[in-house]
Structure formats: structure tokens, C-alpha cells
Structure 1
Amino acid sequence: MFINCYNCNNIKVNVENATLSDIYQKNPRQNSILGWFIQNSKVTFNNIRILNSGGKNTAVLYTSDYSVVHISNLEIDTFISETPSEMFIYSFENKNEGIVLDLERIELNNIISQGVLFTVYNGKVHLSNSKIKNAHVCHKENTCKSIKDDNYIVEQIGISVLNSKSELLITNTIFENIYGESGFVSSIEDYITINNSLFLNCEFSNGLFKINRERLGIYTINYTNFTNIISESGSIIHIENLDEASPTIVTINNSNFVNIKANRYGGILYSLSKHINDRVSFNDCNFKGSKASIGNILYVIDKDSEPYISNMDDLKKIKGNIATNPTKIKLNYILDTIELYSGDKLPDNIACKSYYFIYNLFIIKYM
């Protein structure tokens, strides 16, 4: 570890123009390459390079206990931890009102091992003017070799995990070739704000933003571009379930969605909740080239559960953009029972109507 202040109190650290290369730390406990700071530390790093490094249970930075860390002009190229580990961690049992981790002009490339990039407990993190590229590519190639542990969230989430009234502000940052089960997850009273950023060529099996009863949060996204994002269902927003009183709100303003693809349902949004119509909104957004097997733009429970989209009427004019989950099969009672024996043929006049896409009717007949 470059600097260890586990038992320090009220220290000040200022490091400039340092290169750490070919460092490997093998520790049965959680450790970090750059530093470990607690108890009111005030830390500044500027012009730092970390090359071809890693270890076991190894993060880049751990900070806690009212410590404040500012990092600018940080380059990390080729990093691996044998056991999935967060890269940047802030963890404290009490709420810290100010920014506890300020990351400006950082470049992360070739993050080989699994492990979420940012974990925040009771703190505010600001990431700006940065680029993160080629992280967790093993998810795409199914070649992940990290030693498994019991922390599914750390292992499978690609970008950030927030807990306990935390905040993450991302400004003018590029995320390219990032992979994982999901990109962002948060809990109740967590805030994620993304401004003027780009998500490019990323793949998350359960969506960039994953939301359910346990993973809630407030998401605000402004002037951000999403291009070539792939998932199984809901490549941008994946909602599994929400209670009527769930406090989750997702607001996306003035953003562009280009070539978004879901292998199954809902190219941009997939939801199995009846309670998103007043919780999810797209305002003045553009949609181009989105594809899914069912619901190129949206897949929702029913028409009453659609999110608000300012140009929804235009989207509905294109067949296949909006889809709902089938809700029932209604028989006409003319024929209650059909009996078939070996060698028999299906009786005539059997028909089925399936209202699968909103305003589009599919008819299957055997006459």
C-alpha cells in the first residue's frame, strides 16, 4: 500500500507526480493500492499513474470517518484483483454532508477483474471530466476468473453501488465498453445525478439502471447520450418490481438513445411494476434505432403502467415500439372441451386473438 493511515487522525496528505507500476498486494483482508484513510484525513493526489497492478481483495482507494479525498489527473491502466473488489470505497456509519471523494480527470482502462468501480456508504462522490474504458470485459466473453465471494453486489455490478443516503454526481464523463449484470444500483434516499455524459458500447444483462423493492433511489439524467447499449431486457432501465409507496423516481431530460438493443423485452425500458407511470419520465429525449424481440422502446405491464414520455404519441405511431405483457385469454364458450385421440385432426374454426403490442392485434387461426 502506498499510504496507510488506518490509525491516523486529522492528517493532511499531498502527493503529486507519482507512478506506481507492477505492484501486487496479496492480503487475506481488504486492502488498497493507493491509500487507506480514516479519521478526518484530508488528502490530495495529483498526476498519479498506476500501471499493471492489483492483488487479492485489492481496491485502489479506501476512505472513511469524515475523511475527504481529492484526486485529479489519475491514470490507471491494467488493474486486477484476484477476489472481486471495489476500486473506490467510501464507507462510514454516519452521514457526511460534504463531498468526501472528488475525482476529476481520471482515466481507467483495462480493469480486468470483477468488482464494482465505486461503492459509497453515507457519502457524496463527484466524478467529472473523466473516461472509463474496458472494464469487466470478462462478463462479455464469459471468461471471468476472479475467486468468488459472498458479495454478489460487489461482484456483479459494473459501475456503482450506493447505500445509506449517499449521492453520486457524474459530469462530463465517458463510459465505454463497461460490462456487468447491471451498471448502477442504489437504495432508499440515495441520489444519482448524471450530466453531459456518454455511455458507449456497454453491456449489462439486467440493464444500466436496475431497480426493485430493495434497490430504489432517485435518478436524474440530463443531456446524456446512450449509444450501443445491450442487455437481455431493459438495456437502460430494468425494473423488476416496485411497491405503490416506493420512493423511486427516474427523470431523464434532453438525452439521446441510439442503437439500444435488448435480446428479449424492452429495448430501453423493461418494467414488471404497475407503479411507474408517475415515477419514470423521459422529457425531450430522442430515440433512434432501438431494437428488442418485443417492445423496441418499452415493455410494461399494461397501458396504464406506461412511463411519461413527452413524445409518446410519435413513438406509438411506429409498430412494435411499445409492448405490454399479455394479461388474459378469454374463451367464447361455444366449445368448452376439445378431445383429441390418436389419428384425429384438429376441429375446424379454432381461432386465437392476442393483443400483445399496444394497438396491434395478432390473430392465429385454424379453419
Structure 2
Amino acid sequence: MKSSARQTYVKFIAAVLVLLVAFGSSSTYAQTSSAAANGYRPPSGIELQDADRTRLLQEARAMYQLNEAQISSYDYGSYYENFKSISLKAFAVAFDPASTSAELISALQPFDSYPPYNLFSGDSNVFVDEILFEKELQLHLYTEFGSEPGQWTEANGRQWMDDIELARDKLYPLIAWDYWEPEVWPIFWEHLNTAVKFEDLRNGRSDILSQTFRYRTDVLNRLADRRLAPQQAAAFDTSVKELERLLIVSAAPEPIAAAFAQVKAAYEALPQGGNPASALAADIETARLLLDLPKGIRSGQYPASAFGTLRRAINEAQRVLEKGSTPEQFLQAQSKLAAAVADFHSKKKPGS
């Protein structure tokens, strides 16, 4: 018994060394992804249906699920955060329309040696069948009792139950309480990848993925050619990050639908035409028309001081426009001019 435990421990340490080498380079594509997000690069033109992008989206979530299933395993704690980080960053690369082919391929590299089966040598594999049984039971309940009415067809449910049944048939000869078989993990990994595909067909997830990807592509294009300033896209970026977080953890359909509704609302709230400089120019012309309003102290008129303050605000905005400043400065000038216009209207003499 002690000899067996010692062998397991040696295999475990060997797996540690392999993992440190295999995953040490993950920071490269993580930094690339971060630069893409902060630099607002234009879309690379690689669509969501690209084979590398599709595989990366799928395997990032499969890794996340397998990692979560192992969190309570003995001595697994030191690996949990590493695999979680890899899966999250890989999903972010896949979900970024600006990611290049080289970045997608680089992000896929950690999955070429995953899952590292030696790492799980201390497990009896029994919990894998328990996970599959629980999924199968939930599917039966959803299909037979309508826990998610209208969310999937009975044929969809039957399809995934058949997949689970096939996986369990493969596992039965390999599972026992007193020994470990490495063949279990390729079977379970294959099942998790199938489960991810199925999740994308359920509850409109495929539509949510593709529609959000199109939104992001459009926003990145508009940021790159300065039709949008970063501040204008901030609320959209925040809503996309929340949806991205929910998609990778395979959350329930309700929060995903709610998060997508926020993404859609933020996208529809974005300015649809022109660029920050054009918008500022239009606001200046609109403000200038106010200078023709009646001046005086009677009801419905404006005091002379209000016109002076507004004229100074218009001239300041005009200087920003003529300097050819950055989108951020155009946006700031717009805000200041809007505040000046609001202040001007507040000075109007009330009616009798």
C-alpha cells in the first residue's frame, strides 16, 4: 500500500514539472489579449466560425468544467488557479474579434497536452460516473417535467442523453473503487467537449455568442477609425465582460439572457453616426443658434450675462475642434458644452 502511494506521489511530482514547462508560456498570449482589449485594435477578419476560434471557445470551457470538477481532489489546489486562468484567458482570446490567427493558435497550445492524465492518478474515477449520472438525471427531469419549457426540444435532450449513455458504457469497464485507469480522462474530456457544443445549442447560446461577436466587431471598427471614443464604449465593454464571464462558467440560461440584454442595450445606446469631431461640430452649431434667442429681463427672455457665458463656452469648444485633438478631448469638450447649454436654459426668465 505504501509502495503504491509512493508511486502515485512520484507521478504527481512528475506531472507538476510537465505542467510548469507546458503552461509557462501562457503569459505570452495573455498579454497579447490584454493589449488587444486596451488598444482597440480593429477586427482581424477571422470570423467566429473559424476552426481555430471555434475549437478555442469550446476547449476553454471544457477545461474550465474539468478543473471545477477537480477542485476538491487531494493536492489539486496548486493547479486549480493555473488551469482556471488559462481557460479564462483562452476564452477571452477566442471571443475577441481582433485576435489574429497567430494569437488563436498560440492560445490553443496549452490544450494540446490537456488534460494531463497523470495529474489525476490519485483518483478512483468513480466521481466521473457520478457527474454523468447527475447530468443524465437532470436531463430526464427537464425533458419529462418541463423544468425549462421551450428551451430545448425533446430530440435535443435525447441526443445528449445518448451521448452520456455512450460515455458511461465506455467507462464501466474502467471504473472501480480500488484502481485508476488513465483511459477514463480522454473519455470524460471528449464528453465535456460534446457538452459544450450542446450548451451552445440550448437556450439561444449560439445566437448570443454570434450576435455579441458581431456587436464587438462593429464597435472595434468604430473605435479604430475614431467614430467612437473609448469613453463612449465603456458601458458596452463592461457589459460584454460580464456576459463573457457567465458564458465560460456555463451558468444557468436566465443570467446569460439577462447579461446579453445588457450588452444589446449598451450597444443600441452608442452613437450611430459620425465621429467625435463631427459630433462636437454639430453641437457647436446648435449652440450658436441659441445666441439668437431674445435678450432681456422680460418673461421668456435671457439675461445678457447668460449669452456671454454661452459664447465663451462655444469659443472654447471651437478651439478644441480646430486643434484636431484626440477623441477623448472632443468627448470632454462635448460634455462641457452640453453643461453650458443646460446652464444657459436655466437662466431663462420664467413666464408670468
Q: Which has the larger radius of gyration?
A: 2
The higher relative CO (CA closer than 8 Å, separation ≥ 6) is in: 2
Higher strand share: 1
- TM-score range relative to shorter protein: under 0.3
Higher helix share: 2
TM-score normalised per structure 2? 0.23
